[in-house]
Structure 1
Amino acid sequence: MSTAPVDTSTGIWQGRYVWVTVGAVALIFLAAMQSLAVTTVMPVVSADLDGDALYAVAFAGTLATSVIGMVAVGAWCDRGGVLAPLTTAVILFVVGLVVAGLAASMPWLVAGRLVQGLGTGGQTVALYVVVARVYPAVLHGRVFAAFSAAWVVPSLIGPFLAGAVTEALHWRWVFLGVAALTVVAFTMVVLRLYGLPLGADRPATGRIGPRMACAVAVALGALALSLAGRLGAYSWAVVAASALVIALASRPLLPRGTLLARRGLPSVVLMRGLIAGALFGAEIYVPYLLIDHYDFSPTWAGLGLTAAAIAWAAAADVQGRFGDRLGNARITVIGTSLLVTSTVVAAVVAVLMLHPAVLIAGWAFAGGGMGLMYPRLTVLTLAYSTPQNQGFNSSALSISDSVGAATSIAVMGLVFTALAGTDAAFPAVFAIATGLALLALLPGLRLGHAHEAATTQRR
């Protein structure tokens, strides 16, 4: 078996694991920096390129195409090694950033974001498989806690730095700077992974063509959903048709029974999509609200996301240390309660125009809830997996993540556009997020138990 033998005396920052950990965390760090930065500066980008109509598409499009990258890289990993698919994904990520950074119009920026999505999705799956094949199971919880912690520094400086760079230089450097740093980080990663036994002993042999076709259909459905608001009277018909396409095409890409919240891995995957939709769909409107209603600068609006990201990292560390003691059901209840609290607070702030500090403090609860749930769901996914389906299950988790976020962003964007100019626009998107977070309780209480006790971090 290609997975590294168990060595409980060595931590992830020691011995043969240290440089792999550093490289992988660096890539997560840069992806986090880019995500937080784009969320902060997109209102400015949209105004500069006259792209209000494509505001939601710039986010949803990246998530939509990431599904294709996830499926392709997941199947590639299950059929062999990890290094080649990871390299391809990083190249696409960098190319997409460069295209977006040089875009002269909003459609070109969206095109760059679509290419970037291919790389982002593939990179995420490849790194999950690296964890499964390089580290012993007992260290998986620690690695994913480190991945979550990699959001700490970006959360502290990312939004603020993105705003500062936008004001002092130009928003283009938010894209181009991350592209350059990603090349440096990946160079370090590839040197450390080269020569390690990263292949599966018994590669998967199933057909990939039908799954790729489904991935493309899901991506096209999500893109159509995000563009529905531009179709006037036909908007809701396109929404219904797109949702149907996404539901049907995503079934072969997910564990059997996912859409029915079947106990075990299917519920793990479904819950991931619901909480991703709740958080990421609403989060892009937090800096938007601060800029639009409270006249925040991009620099200070970015800080509205900082408290949530710090809470995410802190909660992820708690999950890494005590996740097994808390148990899956308790983590679900606590995590969803915190997420619901944050979206309700955001809606109330938007309705009553409370002090912006209430919004910023309230949104921190969302980070705390996600920090508990996100890494736990990843650990559970690997615990339910075998070396032959690690790529499929990892890609399924990420697909659910992206489809849930892309769909909610598209629907929220459609609702927001329909209510633009009224006092109901911002409260409506936060109300949708609240509903998704409450719905996540259904699969969340059906997660079951694999052998995650062995993969949860203990110190």
Structure 2
Amino acid sequence: MSTAAVDTSSPGVLSKKYILATLGMCALIGISAFEALAVTTVMPTVSRELDGESLYAFAFAAPLASGLVGMVVAGNWADRRGPRPVVLASTLLFAVGLLVVGLAPSMTVLLIGRLIQGLGSGAVIVGLYVMVSQVFPERLHSAVFAGFAAAWVLPGLVGPVIAGTVTQTVGWHWVFIGALGLCVPAFLMILPTLRRLEPSDTRAPWRPARILWALGAAAAIVALNLISELPDLLGALVVVASVAALAVTLRPLLPKKTLGAGTGIPALVLLRGLVGAAFIGGDVYIPYLLSSHYGFSPAASGVTLTSGAVSWAFASWLVGRIGERVPQLTGLRTGIALMIVGGLSAVATPLWHLHPVVIIIGWTILGFGIGFVYSRFSVLTLRWSKDSEKGFNSSALTISDSASAAVVLGVNGALFGLIGGPGDITAFVACFAVAALVAVVALIVSGRGIPVGRRQG
């Protein structure tokens, strides 16, 4: 009985001790999420106004590419000095990127802003993950990461509608300038906690080789996403060279055996990438499909993003509530299976010219699926990592997420342009099919994420 009493009286994530840190960290995640949803909602309009339809996919891949560099630098920096300088510097970079995008007069300037955003957003996520391990006791990690996952998708309740409405009334520039204004109070909420954090005692050395590998991977991703601008033969050669370069450059940035789905942390890192790629590979094309072939306005085309975000948030909340009562492997496989169901509905809608409600319902199911698995990767990776590895492994999770998504976006961007672009509905079928196939691969790999000896927890 005494143990139960102690557990009950222990402060939670919203107690006086942790509330500012919890709300501030979740707010930063939420702003990043709003910006991502805003880009997905308004990019069909932006690409038309700035004459950049051929660079549509690259507008999403650009921050993922630069984010790789930000993640690696942030992981190394956090292992050396703790999360405080990482969060401070990365938040500033993210804000500058938002300002550049918000004022962009051309697609080129917009892409430069997206690259700056990526440096900041990639680094800040790593800094926040390491911050969790220093600020909160382990018993609260699951709740915090569930909060992060919910904060990532809760903007989907109103974000797509707000972004679409702002675009239709005062212009898309104000979507990004508005997000910039929200960064200030979020940063002020976490500032007291950052000031209390002590520098790391480990003093890990700088690893310039990892940073150079990250730069190489980012360059390969950029090249992969620009193949639509190249002649067919040269584009094919660039694809082969880029994929080979990624296989070489990512290896030192991830835990050993990640690309081979080694059991435990390596497979969890790989699964994080596969799941994220399966989601974003289809998600960015849904508003484009709805506006191009179903006559949806920018605000209305965000309805599918909203439904998926709501179900993701609900699943994240549910995971935080049920804790370990659902075995981790069961949770992974259930969530990924639901993602496959949702992905196949996205394929079927343009393939057979079904009513758009099919893809809306399907993406709602997919959103629940990814929400049911996403926070598990962070919880288990931190649980099984040594203290000296937490920065590197946290960085590896986000690197895998970004690199996998960027590769799928590059492949889809090439297919989209090759098949015929937004005017040919078959191009959308191909992109959704690629995303669904990635989810199938994730389901096949899922059993390696939880070693047999650890499947009870």
Taking structure 1 as the reference length, the TM-score comes to 0.94
List per-residue Cα deviations over 1:325-354 (Å, max 9, x = no partner): 222221122111111111110111011111
Q: Decide which of 427, 431, 434 is 2:433's aligned counterpart.
A: 431
Could you say which residue in structure 1 is the equivalent of 2:241? 241
Find the aligned partners of 1:303 and 1:412 in 2 and give their Cα distance.
22
CA distance in 2, matches of 1:57, 1:48: 16
Distance in 2 (alpha carbons) for counterparts of 1:344 and 1:12: 38
Matches within 5 A, 1:15-54: 15-54=16-55
> Per the alignment, in what secondary structure is the counterpart of residue 416 of structure 2?
helix
- Equivalent position of 1:229 in the other structure: 228
Do the aligned residues in 2 keep the contact of 1:384 with 1:451 (CA within 8 Å)?
no
SS at structure 2 position matched to 1:150: helix
> Gaps (5+ residues) in structure 2?
1-6
Q: Secondary structure at the match of 1:79?
A: helix
The CA deviation at 1:424 is 1.6
Seen in structure 2, the aligned counterparts of structure 1 residues 8 and 71 have a Cα distance that, compared at 3 Å, is farther
Name the residue aligned to 2:74: 73
- Correspondence list, 1:155-304, <5 A: 155-197=156-198, 199-205=199-205, 207-233=206-232, 234-304=234-304
Alpha-carbon separation, structure 2, partners of 1:218 and 1:315? 33
* AA partner of residue 253 (structure 1): L
Query: Aligned letter for 1:97?
Result: L
Question: Shift of residue 450 of structure 1?
Answer: 10
The secondary structure found in structure 2 opposite 1:16 is coil
Q: Helix, strand or coil: the match of 2:273? A: helix
Distance 1:168 1:183 in 2: 25
**CA–CA distance in structure 2, aligned partners of residues 264 and 117 of structure 1:** 28
- 1:453–1:437 CA distance, 2 compared to 1 (3 A): closer
**413-422 vs 63-72, which deviates more?**
413-422
Q: Say which SS state the counterpart of residue 50 (structure 1) adopts.
A: coil
> How far apart are the structure 2 equivalents of 1:430 and 1:334?
21
Give every structure 1 segment of 4 or more consecutive aligned residues whose post-TM-superposition deviation is greater than 3 Å. Answer: 449-454
Aligned length: 448
**What SS does the corresponding residue of 2:183 show, helix, strand or coil?**
helix
| 1:76-87 → structure 2 map (5 Å cutoff) | 76-87=77-88
In the TM superposition, what are the counterparts of 1:265-414 in structure 2 within 5 Å? Answer: 265-414=265-414
Q: Report matched runs for 1:114-153 at 5 Å.
A: 114-153=115-154
Tell me by how many angstroms 1:323 deviates.
Answer: 4.3
Deviation of residue 190 (structure 1)? 1.4
Are the counterparts in 1 of residues 293 and 425 from structure 2 also a CA contact under 8 Å?
A: no
Deviates more, 1:150-159 or 1:130-139: 150-159
Partners of 2:335 and 2:373 within 8 A in 1: yes
User: For residue 47 of structure 1, what is the amino acid of its counterpart?
Assistant: R
Q: CA RMSD in A?
A: 1.8
- The 1:18–1:7 alpha-carbon spacing in structure 2 relative to 1, beyond 3 Å, is farther
Looking at structure 2, the residues matched to 453 and 135 of structure 1 have their Cα atoms a distance apart, in angstroms, of 25
Structure 1 residues 35, 216: closer, same or farther in 2, change over 3 A? Answer: same
Task: Give 1:422 deviation, angstroms.
Answer: 3.1
Structure 1 alignment gaps of length 5 or more: 1-5
Cα deviation code 1:365-412 (max 9, x no counterpart): 111111011101110111121221111000000000000111101110
Confirm or deny: 8 A CA contact 1:159 1:302 kept in the other structure. Answer: yes
Paired with 1:232 and 1:304, the residues of 2 have a C-alpha distance of 35
Structure 2 partner of 1:3:
none
| Overall identity of the aligned pairs, in % | 43
Amino acid at match of 2:414: L
The secondary structure found in structure 1 opposite 2:448 is coil
Aligned pair partner of 1:447 in 442, 446, 449? 449
Once the two structures are TM-superposed, the CA of residue 150 in structure 1 deviates from its matched residue by 1.4
Q: Secondary structure at the match of 2:363?
A: helix
How many Å separate the matches in 2 of 1:40 and 1:52? 14
1:80-125 deviation per Cα after TM superposition (whole angstroms, max 9, x unaligned): 1211111110111011111111111101101100010000100100
Please, which moves more after superposition, 342-351 or 441-450? 441-450
Distance change in 2, residues 1:8/1:241 (3 Å) = farther
Which residue in the other structure is 2:4 paired with?
none
Distance (Å, rounded) in 2 between the aligned partners of 1:342 and 1:141: 26
Shift of 1:187: 2.2
